[in-house]
Amino acid sequence: MDTNVFTGDQQVHSDLQVRSRSRSLAADALSRAEPDSNVEFVEQSYELSEIHSHSSSPTPIEPFAPEENASRYYSVDLPRSRASSHSSHFQKGESKVESKEYFHVLTRNWNLIFACFGVSFTGFFFGYDTGTVGGITNMQPWLKRFGHYNASSGEYEMSTAIIGIIVSAFHIGCITGGFTIARLADHLGRRAPIAIACFVYMIGISVQLSAGKGKWYQYMIGRMITGLTVGANAVLSPMLLSEIAPPTIRGVIVNFYQINVTHGILVGYIVDYATKGIYTDNRMWRLPLIGGYIFSLIIIPVLTRVPESPRYLIQRGRFEDAKKCVAKLKGFNLDFNSGSTLSATDAAYMNEVVEEVEFLKAASHYQLREQRNASFWQLFSKKYLKRTISGMCVMAFQQMSGIDYFLYYGTKLFKSVGIEDSYVTSIILGAINAGMTYVSIFVADNLGRKKGLFWGSVSCFTCLFIFSTIGVVMVDHQENPNAKLSGTIMIVFTCLFIAVFCCSWSAIASVLVSEIFSLEIKSKAMAFSQAFNWGSNFFIALCTPIITARIGYAFGYVFTGFMFVAIIFVYFFIPETKGMTLEEIDDYYEGKHEITEV
């Protein structure tokens, strides 16, 4: 199987529909059974499932036989299966059932919850780098080590082009890591590549710390190496989380990866501010880097408590290990090596474990069958070309909204306005970014995909236009006696922009892209779209300091223009995919379905 760029949102969406269907069938069967036959039914089901688990051919009684029943349980992803029109009904029913079990899952298996939150903490690396790099490249000790002295200003400085290269090199590593280290997931499992990525991150930090005076290129290479880790973990961590987290809280756990990204940004800003206020030597910029090193050391031991993905074990034919793993994930204390008779309770637990493994076997078989003949070239076929272009544009617009214009270079931007301590301003922006990410989890889905992106684009356009106009009129071209007032207004609209972005483009873009592609091509489509996302990020990180040095705050109009184009693009070319079946999405892209009004 090709590399999985199979996001947690996709996994949750697929599994909820499958489980809803299977549970409704099970409930219907039990409602027709005799009251005193429940235990016997459980034990018998376990025995039959065990027989099948050692058999090479499906039996008529197998509840999740891959060939006969995969399409039945995966109707939402099969072409022209009208049963998928009921997916939203099943999903709602699943949510109601699972919400009642939420507290029970937490209290039954705290170790698992701790492990899931530990894996999601890998998102912290990306955020921490984003939060620290802008402040570090503005610190005088760092500029003294890698830049040159300007006698006229009495300060050390560095070419804006070199700063852009150093910052953007990180994203070259991200693209590479997403297509290299992440591929190990199909050969070494999910945990090992994440641990490898953490070691690679520490190597990258070491390369940066050891860079000699004037050797900015070594520092750049170190950032590229750390980018390998972030690109790999952006694929591996959501994948592992979606495969081990309890269904009851899977959506929350997978979303926590993104939350940790914003936490990392905020902590990065705070660490920069703290070291800048305490030290005046190289410790000012080295300690923030060492902080990333320490975070890696925290993650690696946590991974030892994380069970391997049952899906991976099943794909490798390790069914007994998969059963033990599923039992651990469910918090069941079962002895698989004991030959003694099971109690009614343990038999029920064992049956649940076996049923889960059979379900995952069918899921794995179906996924492999769908993706067997898929290739990247299919993305440009007549069937998928429009969707591929849509996915590329959506992921590009997410970055070309200008979010990293503020997150990477906010310290430098607000310093030029005359803000007394631009590091404090960055902390404010980071706090809003982190706080609104929690809000976005609840707001984005209620808005819908199309409406959320459309009104998000309108709002981002407005905020960027006002921000840029104030910067150009009141800062760039004349002496401004009210610099502090201008800076305050710009900060307010920057905060509004970040809040709107979190609830629209940040929360919706990847979900929309995952929904417009069928399972056979989805992993490759997400990989291609994510590469476009990293590429756009690279462009912004590289060009922002160079262009800003030449045209000042007028650069904000570039992002304003992209948001104007995004408004038109979303209105005319993006369907409302929330609640749509795959057939309806196919009909839209084949011209048989009219665009949904905003």
DSSP 151-209: TTTTEEE--HHHHHHHHHHHHHHHHHHHHTGGGGHHHH-SHHHHHHHHHHHHHHHHHHH
pLDDT of the residue at 594: 63
Two tokens, residue 552? 């000042």
User: What pLDDT, on the 0 to 100 scale, is given for residue 515?
Assistant: 81
Residue 7 has pLDDT above 50, yes or no: no
User: Distance between the two ends of the chain, CA-based, in angstroms?
Assistant: 39
Residue type, 219: Y
352-to-100, 379, 493 alpha-carbon distances in Å: 19, 39, 53
Q: Same domain for 458 and 596? A: yes
User: Residue 556's Cα: distance from chain center in Å?
Assistant: 27
pLDDT score, position 357: 82
Are both 488 and 558 inside the same structural domain?
Answer: yes
Whether residue 190 sits in one domain with residue 124: yes
Domain stop point among 341, 372, 403 = 372
Which range marks the domain in which residue 515 is found? 381-598
Counting residues of the chain whose pLDDT is more than 90, the rounded percentage is 30
- 71 belongs to a structural domain: no
Residue range 227-254: average pLDDT?
80
Please tell me the predicted confidence (pLDDT) of residue 423: 85
pLDDT band at 319, cuts 50/70/90? Answer: confident
pLDDT at 66: 36
Residue 126 pLDDT greater than 80, yes or no:
yes
Residues forming beta bridges with residue 157, ordered by sequence position: 148
At residue 453, the pLDDT reads: 93
DSSP 341-368: PPPHHHHHHHHHHHHHHHHHHHHHHHHH
Tokens 């036989």 -> residue:
65
**What local confidence, expressed as pLDDT, does residue 271 receive?**
96
Say how many C-beta atoms besides its own lie within 10 A of residue 274's C-beta.
14
Give backbone dihedrals phi and psi of 79, rounded to 5 degrees, phi first: -60, 135
Point out the least confidently predicted range of 102-116, 176-190, 203-217, 444-458.
102-116
pLDDT band at 270 (very low <50, low <70, confident <90, very high): very high
Q: Are residues 194 and 148 in the same domain?
A: yes
Assess if residue 61 is contained within a domain: no
pLDDT tens for residues 440-464?
877 766 778 899 999 999 999 999 9
Q: Is residue 56 part of a domain?
A: no
Position 495 scores a pLDDT of 92
CATH code of 152's domain: 1.20.1250.20
Among the candidates 270, 287, 306, a domain finishes at 306
**Pair 388, 317 in one domain:** no
Only one residue has tokens 């492999």, namely: 368
Same-domain check for residues 361 and 454: no
Question: Is 94 part of any domain?
Answer: no
What mean pLDDT comes out for the span 560-570? 96
Give the count of domains, the chain: 3
What average pLDDT does this structure show over 398-402? 91
Residues 244 and 190 in one domain: yes
- Do 202 and 341 fall into the same domain? no
- Cα–chain-centroid distance for residue 446? 20
Does residue 70 lie within any of the structural domains?
no
Return mean pLDDT, the chain: 76
Residue 269: band (very low, low, confident or very high) from pLDDT cuts 50, 70, 90: very high
Give the confidence band of 468 by pLDDT, cuts at 50, 70, 90.
very high
Both structure tokens of 380: 């440009």
Is 422's pLDDT higher than 90? Answer: no
Which residues have CB under 8 Å from 1's CB, separation 6+?
186, 315, 367, 368, 371
Per-residue pLDDT at 509: 87
pLDDT of 67: 35
For residue 251, is it within any domain?
yes
What's the distance, CA 248 to chain centroid? 19
Of the spans 176-180, 331-335, 418-422, 476-480, which averages the highest pLDDT?
A: 176-180
* pLDDT higher than 70, residue 72: no
Give the pLDDT confidence score for residue 182 in this predicted structure. 77
Window from 208-222, 324-338, 464-478 with minimum mean pLDDT:
324-338
Higher pLDDT, 374 or 147: 147
What's the CA gap between 357 and 361, in Å, rounded? Answer: 6
* DSSP classification of residue 35: G
Same domain, 164 and 298: yes
pLDDT by residue (tens digit) across 471-528? 888 875 556 666 677 878 888 999 999 999 998 998 888 888 878 887 677 777 877 8
Rounded mean pLDDT, 274-297? 93
Q: Which of 312-321, 403-412, 464-473 has the lowest mean pLDDT?
A: 403-412
Residue 489 lies in a domain: yes
Examine the domain organization and report whether 534 and 390 are in the same domain. Answer: yes
161-175, 336-350, 571-585: range with lowest mean pLDDT:
336-350
- Residue 13: inside a domain: no
Backbone phi, psi, residue 316, to 5°: -90, 5
Q: Where does a domain end: 273, 306, 339?
A: 306
Are 451 and 313 members of one domain?
no
Please determine, for residue 290, whether its predicted confidence score (pLDDT) is greater than 70. yes
396 shares a domain with 265:
no
